[in-house]
A and B are shown apart, each in its own frame.
Chain A
Amino acid sequence: MQFGIISSMAQILLENVSFSYDKNHNALNNVSLSIEKGEYVAILGHNGSGKSTLAKLLNGLITANSGNMEICGLSPFEKKNLFEIRKKVGVIFQNPDNQLVASIVEDDVAFGPENLGVKRDEIAKRIDFALSSVNMLDFKKSSPTRLSGGQKQRIAIAGVLALQPQVLVLDESTSMLDPRGREEVLSVVKKLNESGVTVIAITHYMDEAVEADKIYVLSGGEVVCSGTPNQVFAEKKALEIAGLELPLSQKIANQLKQNGIPMEQDVLTENSLLEGLCKLL
């Protein structure tokens, strides 16, 4: 801890963090956020808003230029902590093809624990646990090339789970998947979150953010608004600036309200919209 001002509750804490790839332009500018253990947090933003930079910052792939950070009680500014931080914060990237190392599923999942120097029988246990957590145990001996996008992405999640992380960062991990693949991945992630893993979902799909505990909206490298989904979706201006759109269900609800139908205040998901409509009609 550099300044000793960090709250003890937060598992991930950023205070006024900036990062730039080149001198003229900050990819992240004075970003502050605090994420608690077990939360499901969505980070929304358009392409180029700095959200992928944030993902890399969170597990020490890059180091901030200024500001204060604490991740799982460790400072990423100290090189000796990086290994420990990467162990605790797993990242799933966008392209399922570009994060699998091995030609056989179990070997790929083993890659992380091998790097940590975990013993062989323990690795075997972790592989079984990780693959069953993502419902892919049957594919242990398969080659990833033959799998669907959603299946590959679940293998990638298993590869990270084998490191026994406390935090899972999804860097647009569903954006290249078809609807079925997206659903598979999201339901696995939800299950993991329920079992206590903190989830940080970086996305531009609004409907993935609807059920989050907390949302941060990034634009031009800055946090333009944050809060619960209800609070954030009420800030239409900020969303517009961020190049985002309300979920369709919210748009329909707003329009109905304008037409004089007394819809309830927070209608966000498809289900809650349906419930609202059923009550009224």
Chain B
Amino acid sequence: MQVVVKNLNYTYSKNSKSVAVKALKGINLTIEEGEFFGIIGETGSGKSTFIQHLNGLIKTTKEDCECLKIGEFDLTEKKCNYKKLRSKVGMVFQYPEYQLFAETVEADVMFGLKNCKPEMTEEEKSSAVKKALELVGLNYYEIKDKSPFELSGGQKRRVAIAGVLVLEPEVLILDEPAAGLDPKGKRELLKLLKEIHGKTVKTTVIVSHDMNLIMEECDKVALFHKGNVAKVDAPENIFKDKELVSLCGLKFPLTASLYHALKEKGVSLKTNLKVENFIKAVTEYYKGEQR
């Protein structure tokens, strides 16, 4: 499913003029199917307001938006089927483990199915839960009858993500999925997301402040600034634009800040800024100098 957004506007507390805040000011963005898409921007730049539009948690109208289409769903239409949409577009919020509520892991993961696919039989539901839990690297038989509250932090997060994956969304949106995890937990979660991407999930959208992560993992990045999209491009092109990224109040991934600093010293490296490629470029440059 392709995500097409044209001229999307949103104002908080629209009805009282004194406190109204324009959060989105004409967003234009297209996310192609199959992309591992990153969204970056300062806190308050409109990122989270934007992603909430993508599965109808914030509803828009024709008045505020020229076009907001995800696959066959037209979200500017009043009669848009949000239940169906939400099973196609999954949303994992920051610290998703805080949404767990049921007595058992199985019941919690099943919650989405009960809401969106009530026509499924119990067996079908159970097997979907099993599949989702396995996708996030958990053993269904070991964990299904446990209370979600007795799990470790990392496990809770995986269960919460399984609760979204169980609907087999084609587009998966994650807001700061690795927040609060230690380095190992973060590495494992990212590996997992990469694995899931391309299985049932076709498009992954990640919102993150971790520039190294965005640089390394994403195919394409949208840079948000004060309710606008400042630039959409491959991560290397975004982070090579030194003025723009600084203007938007963001930091650089390590490779990019080294790249810029070296450039100032007259050393111009040919690299796409991914760590491995960067090391290769430095090595080649050094060996070239030696000769």
Indicate whether A and B are direct neighbours in the complex (CB within 8 Å). yes
- 0 or 1 for each of B246-273: is its CB under 8 Å from A? (1 = yes): 0001110011011001100101000000
| Interface range on chain A (Cβ under 8 Å from partner) | 20 to 34
> Are B43 and A180 touching (Cβ within 8 A)?
yes
> Are A261 and B152 touching (Cβ within 8 A)?
no
> Are B183 and A261 touching (Cβ within 8 A)?
no
The residue from A178, A245, A251, A273 contacting B43, defined by CB atoms under 8 A apart: A178
- 0 or 1 for each of A244-263: is its CB under 8 Å from B? (1 = yes): 11001101100110011100
CA distance A242 to B43 in the complex (A): 32
Nearest-neighbour CB distance to chain B for A44, whole angstroms, equals 9
Asked if A5 is an interface residue, CB under 8 A from chain B, the answer is: no
The residue from A48, A181, A243 contacting B183, defined by CB atoms under 8 A apart: A243
> Are A252 and B278 touching (Cβ within 8 A)?
yes
Q: Which residues of B contact A251 (CB under 8 A)?
A: 275
The residue from A175, A261, A277 contacting B180, defined by CB atoms under 8 A apart: A175
Stretch in B102-110, B221-229, B237-245, B280-288 with 4+ CB within 8 Å of A:
B280-288
The residue from A149, A179, A243, A274 contacting B261, defined by CB atoms under 8 A apart: A274
CA distance A243 to B154 in the complex (A): 13
Nearest-neighbour CB distance to chain B for A60, whole angstroms, equals 26
> Are A259 and B283 touching (Cβ within 8 A)?
yes
Interface core residue of B152, B184, B251, B278 (most chain A CB under 10 Å): B184
Q: A244-B183, A248-B212, A259-B283 are in contact. Are A47 and B42 (CB under 8 A)?
A: no
Asked if B181 is an interface residue, CB under 8 A from chain A, the answer is: yes
Q: Which residues of A contact B285 (CB under 8 A)?
A: 281
CA distance A51 to B279 in the complex (A): 34
The residue from B152, B154, B275 contacting A248, defined by CB atoms under 8 A apart: B275
Nearest-neighbour CB distance to chain A for B78, whole angstroms, equals 34
Asked if B209 is an interface residue, CB under 8 A from chain A, the answer is: yes
Q: Give the tally of cross-chain contacts (CB within 8 A).
A: 87
Asked if B58 is an interface residue, CB under 8 A from chain A, the answer is: no
The residue from B181, B209, B275, B287 contacting A178, defined by CB atoms under 8 A apart: B209
> Are B43 and A148 touching (Cβ within 8 A)?
yes
> Are B286 and A281 touching (Cβ within 8 A)?
yes
Asked if A57 is an interface residue, CB under 8 A from chain B, the answer is: no
Q: Which residues of B contact A274 (CB under 8 A)?
A: 257-258, 261-262
CA distance A180 to B44 in the complex (A): 12
CA distance A280 to B289 in the complex (A): 9
CA distance A281 to B264 in the complex (A): 12
**Complex: chain A residue closest to B181, CB-CB:** A47
Q: A47-B154, A261-B283, A274-B261 are in contact. Are A180 and B42 (CB under 8 A)?
A: yes
> Are B251 and A179 touching (Cβ within 8 A)?
yes
Q: A180-B42, A244-B183 are in contact. Are A255 and B257 (CB under 8 A)?
A: no
> Are A273 and B258 touching (Cβ within 8 A)?
yes
Nearest-neighbour CB distance to chain A for B242, whole angstroms, equals 15
Asked if B63 is an interface residue, CB under 8 A from chain A, the answer is: no
Q: Which residues of A contact B153 (CB under 8 A)?
A: 47-48
CA distance A261 to B287 in the complex (A): 8
> Are A261 and B282 touching (Cβ within 8 A)?
yes
> Are B184 and A243 touching (Cβ within 8 A)?
yes
> Are B282 and A48 touching (Cβ within 8 A)?
no
The residue from A243, A249, A260, A281 contacting B254, defined by CB atoms under 8 A apart: A249
> Are B286 and A280 touching (Cβ within 8 A)?
yes
CA distance A252 to B286 in the complex (A): 15
The residue from B43, B184, B267, B279 contacting A46, defined by CB atoms under 8 A apart: B184
CA distance A204 to B185 in the complex (A): 11
Q: A178-B43, A261-B286, A280-B286 are in contact. Are A46 and B182 (CB under 8 A)?
A: yes
The residue from A175, A244, A259 contacting B279, defined by CB atoms under 8 A apart: A259
Q: Which residues of B contact A278 (CB under 8 A)?
A: 261-262, 265, 267
> Are B184 and A270 touching (Cβ within 8 A)?
no
**Complex: chain A residue closest to B255, CB-CB:** A252
Q: A252-B279, A270-B257 are in contact. Are A48 and B180 (CB under 8 A)?
A: no
> Are A47 and B254 touching (Cβ within 8 A)?
no
Nearest-neighbour CB distance to chain B for A97, whole angstroms, equals 12
Asked if B84 is an interface residue, CB under 8 A from chain A, the answer is: no
Nearest-neighbour CB distance to chain B for A188, whole angstroms, equals 18
- 0 or 1 for each of B91-125: is its CB under 8 Å from A? (1 = yes): 00000000000000000000000000000000000
CA distance A274 to B261 in the complex (A): 8
A129-168, CB < 8 A from B: 148-149
> Are A281 and B267 touching (Cβ within 8 A)?
yes
Q: A248-B212, A281-B282 are in contact. Are A47 and B185 (CB under 8 A)?
A: yes
Asked if B179 is an interface residue, CB under 8 A from chain A, the answer is: yes
**Complex: chain B residue closest to A254, CB-CB:** B279
Asked if A225 is an interface residue, CB under 8 A from chain B, the answer is: no
Asked if A206 is an interface residue, CB under 8 A from chain B, the answer is: yes
Q: Which residues of A contact B22 (CB under 8 A)?
A: none
**Complex: chain B residue closest to A244, CB-CB:** B183
> Are A281 and B154 touching (Cβ within 8 A)?
no
Asked if A176 is an interface residue, CB under 8 A from chain B, the answer is: yes
Pairs across A and B, CB under 8 Å, 10 listed: A148-B43, A180-B249, A206-B183, A243-B182, A244-B183, A244-B184, A248-B254, A274-B262, A277-B267, A281-B289
Q: Which residues of A contact B (CB under 8 A)?
A: 45-48, 148-149, 175-176, 178-181, 204, 206, 243-245, 248-249, 251-252, 255-256, 259-261, 270, 273-274, 277-278, 280-281
